[in-house]
Amino acid sequence: MKKKIMISCLLAWVAVFGFSGVAISGGGGPEDPACDNLPEPTRGKNISGTFIASMDKSSCSQEFQRCKHFNILVELKLANKVHLYSFPATLGTGNLCDFTADNLKTTFARTPCALGVGKDFMLEGTPVIKLLKITHQQCDDQIIKGSIDIQVVP
Give the angle subtended at the CA of 37 by the CAs of 23 and 147, to the nearest 5°. 85
Segment 80-98, tens digit of pLDDT:
999 999 998 877 766 788 8
- What size, in residues, is the chain? 154
Q: How far is the C-alpha of 148 from the C-alpha of 115, rounded, in Å?
A: 15
Model-level pTM greater than 0.85? no
Q: Tell which residue, 106, 88, 95, has the closest CA to residue 68.
A: 95
- Per-residue pLDDT of 39-87, as tens digits, reads 998 899 999 999 999 988 776 655 555 567 889 999 999 999 999 999 9
